[in-house]
Structure 1
Amino acid sequence: MSTVEMIVKNESLDDIVTVFALLKPTPHLDMMIRSHNPELLREYGSLEGAYARLIKAGVLANGENGLARKGPNWKAPAYMTEKRYV
């Protein structure tokens, strides 16, 4: 199982979007989540809802070329700081 697949299967939607929205445009992120854990979107709501929550909270900000950028309140999720998937 790939590292990305393990993250998508084990972490919350908001934690996934907090990191991967900086690296992948929305269509690619949506496809990644739907292919590895489609239940995640049903459980936490839509991908657009996650973006809206994170932008409102200042975790993400609108960026360029379909990518988000770090907002003033961005903080690495626990799975990154704890290096769970290294």
Structure 2
Amino acid sequence: MIDFKAMIEKERVYDVVSFFAGCTKGIGYPQLDNFFVRYRFNVVSNGELSKVFDEMLRDGVVNFGNKMLVIKGPNWKEPKFVTEKKYGIS
């Protein structure tokens, strides 16, 4: 089981968003926001999540699918913590 709490608390916002975008079906933006509200509220309250997400959209790292689904873009790369299989990622 993936330890989302530890991942969100310890990793960069950019890498966490990349991880979720790279999941098979992506993640809904409201769900993504909810993870950060739950485990790292300051990222939402100070606007960092929005800023990083906008940069990632502009750079083609993430894209929007149907119904605000966040999916990987043409310039997406797997975060390092995924290849290291941290937080229970297999």
TM-score normalised to the size of structure 2?
0.77
8 Å CA contact retained: 1:13, 1:41 = no
Aligned-partner Cα distance in 1 for 2:3–2:74: 27
Q: Residue type of the partner of 2:10?
A: N
CA shift, 1:75, in A, is 0.4
Q: Is 2:19 the partner of 1:19?
A: yes
Structure-1 residue corresponding to 2:77: 75
Runs of 4+ more than 2 Å apart: 21-24, 39-43, 45-48
Structure-2 residue corresponding to 1:41: 44
Q: Residue type of the partner of 1:11?
A: E
Higher relative contact order (CA 8 A, sep 6+): 2
Aligned-partner Cα distance in 1 for 2:72–2:21: 9
Structure-1 residue corresponding to 2:9: 9
CA RMSD of aligned residues (A): 2.0
Pick closer, same or farther for the CA change 1:47–1:21 going to 2, 3 Å: farther
Percent sequence identity is 30
Gaps of 5+ in 2: none
> If each structure's helix is expressed as a fraction of its own residues, which one has the higher value?
2
Structure-1 residue corresponding to 2:64: 62
Deviation per CA, 1:10-69, whole angstroms, max 9, x where unpaired? 1111111112245321112111111111133356x3332222111111111221122122
Aligned-partner Cα distance in 2 for 1:42–1:21: 22
Identify which of 15, 26, 31 aligns with 2:34. Answer: 31
Aligned-partner Cα distance in 2 for 1:72–1:21: 12
